[in-house]
Amino acid sequence: MPESSHLPQLSDAAVPLVAGVSVLDEAGRRKDIFIPGERPLTVYVDKQELVTLMTLGGAPEALVLGYLKNQRFVHALDELISIHVDWEVGAAAVKTRDGIHALKERQEKRTVTTGCGQGTIFGDILSDLSSIQLDPDARLHQDTMVSIVAQMRAQQSIYKQAGSVHGCAVFRGTELLMFVEDVGRHNAVDAIAGKMWLEGMSGKDLVFYTTGRLTSEMVIKGAQMGIPFLLSRSGATQMGLDMARRVGITLFGRCSGEHFLMYSGEERFVYRS
């Protein structure tokens, strides 16, 4: 293959993200509202069925790519020839150069995690975490954090239109780089991971924002992306905090306006003087 074609070929499959429905309210009034789409997307790797993801459908190719990466089925982009999504049949066809090693065996040991969306971690991701080193010198200033929280609040979104979705975003300083929504928050973070991978983007100077809770799996995925700062408008679970301490992530929950709670990694945060 020529040097320029090391990136997998991706389809760009578009699909409506919301649907109009007619409902009745408490006074018997008929109302027309929007609700988010939720579609099955079955992932086939070299024609072998791997998994069915339930997704909003906004970034299906990046979702599949990030899923394969975060589940550690794929370790380098040049292992993949193409990802082709076809909504007519609800399928994502992944072509690899040399197959995925021990695919069946790796499907057998799995963890069904707390996460919305694809709460499934294969194999020994937990034990691999010890190899992750997050930048100890990264710093986040309070003004930057408040700006990020304000930008997320103002962001145009499916959530504002139809509710019932989770959003994830990555920022460099106060600059919003990526924003993805999905019916499951883990689909949203996997799609972000897929986009970052395609763009060759390191996480070491980024801030990750999620509307979802900071459970063990969310923290693990943040660590896998190499991002030292995790922000949520929701709270942390005990294992989410344990994982954050273990990998050295600076974890913030209950972010709203000026308010937040910092659970771990205080040495990276710079309060306004």
User: Backbone phi, then psi, for 186, in 5-degree steps?
Assistant: -80, -25
Would you give the distance in Å from CA 225 to the centre of its chain?
10
Using CB under 8 A, pick the residue from 108, 127, 130, 200 that binds its own copies: 108
Q: For residues 180-199, which are near its own copies according to CB under 8 A? A: 183-184
CB-based burial, 73-110: b 16+ in 10 Å, e otherwise: bbeeeeebeebbbebeebbbbbebeeebeeeeebeeee
- Using the rule CB under 8 A, is 136 a contact of its own copies? no
Angle at 84 between CA 78 and CA 87, to 5 degrees: 155
Shortest CB 88 distance to its own copies, Å? 17
- CA 228, CA 145: separation in Å to the nearest integer? 13
Q: Which of 190, 179, 169 is nearest to 71 (CA)?
A: 190
Looking at 5-13, 21-29, 81-89, 220-228, which segment touches its own copies (CB under 8 A)?
21-29
- Which CB sits closer to its own copies, 142 or 177? 142
CA distance readout (Å), 105 to 91, 94, 110, 120: 23, 19, 10, 15
Using CB under 8 A, pick the residue from 4, 12, 88, 104 that binds its own copies: 104
Helix H or strand E segment including 108: helix 103-108
Q: Which of 123, 96, 91 is nearest to 107 (CA)?
A: 123
- Which CB sits closer to its own copies, 71 or 84? 71
- Which CB sits closer to its own copies, 217 or 226? 217
With CB under 8 A, what is the number of residues at the site for its own copies?
Answer: 62
SS3 of residue 111 by DSSP = strand
Looking at 7-15, 44-52, 90-98, 128-136, which segment touches its own copies (CB under 8 A)?
44-52
Shortest CB 189 distance to its own copies, Å? 14
- Using the rule CB under 8 A, is 144 a contact of its own copies? no
Q: What residue type is assigned to position 244 of the chain?
A: A
Looking at 6-14, 33-41, 130-138, 222-230, which segment touches its own copies (CB under 8 A)?
33-41
The residues binding its own copies (CB under 8 A) are: 19, 21, 23-26, 28, 31, 33, 35-40, 49, 51-54, 104, 107-120, 142, 162-164, 183-184, 213-217, 234-241, 258-263, 266, 271
